[in-house]
Amino acid sequence: MASLGTTITAPIAKRQPETVALRAAFAELRHHVPAHPSDRKMSKLEILRAAIRYISILEYCLGMRQTPIGVKLHKE
Q: What is the pLDDT of residues 7-46, one digit of tens each?
A: 667 666 677 888 889 999 999 999 898 866 677 888 999 9
Burial of 68 (0-12, 13-18, 19+ CB in 10 A): middle
* Rounded-to-integer distance, Cα 12 and Cα 30, Å: 26
* Rounded-to-integer distance, Cα 48 and Cα 2, Å: 40
Question: Is 3's pLDDT higher than 80?
Answer: no
Residue 5 pLDDT: 54
| Domain covering 4-61 in this structure, CATH number | 4.10.280
Residue 29 pLDDT: 92
Residue 23 pLDDT: 92
